[in-house]
Amino acid sequence: MTNKENMKKLRVGIIFGGMSSENEVSLNSGRNIYDNMDRETYEPIPVFMDSGGKLWILPWQLISQNTTTDVMERLEQEAERLPYEELRDKVDFAFISLHGKYGDDGCIQGVMELLGIPYTGPGVLASAIGMDKHLQQKVLEAAGIGVPKSRVIHEKDWGEKREALEKEIVETFGYPLVTKPVREGSSVGVRIVRNLKDLEDGVREALQWDTSVLVEEFLDGIEFSSIVLEEEDGEPVPLGLTEIYPQSEFYTYDDKYMPGRCRKFTPPRNISREAAEEIKKEVVRAYRALGFRCYGRIDGFFLKDGRILVTDPNSSSGMAPSSFFFEQAAEAGMLPSMIVSRLIEISLRIHREKKGPL
């Protein structure tokens, strides 16, 4: 038996599923991470979070199920229930593949900190800011980074003084404008508003997902996304830059996850090399300003007048086979297994060096 075979493999708990509107996206991410993990170095352990927040270790037969509902229907009979307090006995490291509330927003990161389990992605505070679109913009604006003009509407205020708010919004932004929940991802609850009826519908839809609505100016330009990876010396470096052309009037949930609904170009086709380099500089500045660690995904717009606006910084990223992450990794010459291993290695270094919670 070789020395490598004698070495104990790192037990990597891949946490996916979850309690958010993005649980199906998370299922695809977790499955792809599981499939592409280097078995010579790591022992992947699929840890599924159900819609009630309970954890389960899945047999391989359940990992390939089509939807989270399909998985949950078989948990009691086929999966192993895993109490949170026993997680540390089962895994040495957590590869967080949860998306949305309770996954990207600092909740699961706080649990990992309390259990003493190192994990992928930023820590509690940066993850929480990474989920809150309003706070993101305040932080970025304070750092001198371009963001869309916006304002927040609270559910209570909308119920008590709707007419005054409608007038103020139209006078401030004009049409079209955009409404979205303050804390959601994958374009859930987002709407392009072109008249008063749209505005009422857009706010109502956004309030189904959160108690606050972000109203933003409509941006006319090229949408982009860039994955940022942290190097061994701690320096954040853009993995690549992708230019996005959705089929719909904005980058909807279906455009993001349905095959054939969107064209993506990595590297960009219609952004000059000089502009692309400026975008990458802004992406890194945003990553630093928000306190992200390990990796992040920074989305934004390159406007016709040459301005670069950061619209959606993400403390994590979808990791399905056709995601920005693996598309940009492929362009950089990295196989899926290589990028998965890289994220684990980066995270382990970060957690070794931290003092207190990340």
What is the per-residue pLDDT for 189?
87
Alpha-carbon gap, residue 57 to 50, rounded angstroms = 11
Average pLDDT of the segment spanning 140-169 = 97
Dig out the tokens for 339 from the structure.
């990028």
9: DSSP letter: P
What is the tens place of the pLDDT at every residue in 90-135?
Answer: 999 999 999 999 999 999 999 999 999 999 999 999 999 999 999 9
In this prediction, residue 250 carries a pLDDT of 59
How many Cβ atoms sit within 10 Å of the Cβ of residue 263?
12
pLDDT in tens, 273-304: 999 999 999 999 999 999 999 999 999 999 99
- How far is the C-alpha of 240 from the C-alpha of 262, rounded, in Å? 18
pLDDT at 2 over 50: no
| Tens-digit pLDDT profile for residues 19-76 | 999 999 999 999 999 999 999 999 999 999 999 999 999 999 999 898 999 999 999 9
Q: At what angle do helices 336-353 and 324-331 cross, to 10 degrees?
A: 100
Backbone angles phi, psi at 221, to 5 degrees: 180, -165
Placement of tokens 């990796």 in the chain: 295
pLDDT per residue as tens digits for the range 233-246: 889 999 999 999 87
Q: Distance (Å, rounded) from C-alpha 153 to C-alpha 149?
A: 14
Q: Would you state the structure tokens that stand for residue 25, as one six-digit string? A: 């996206």
Domains in the chain, start-ordered, CATH in brackets? 3-119 (3.40.50.20), 130-146+220-332 (3.30.470.20), 150-217 (3.30.1490.20)
Sheet holding 212-217, edge to edge: 150-154, 212-217, 177-181, 191-193
Do 247 and 222 meet the contact criterion of CB atoms below 8 Å apart? no
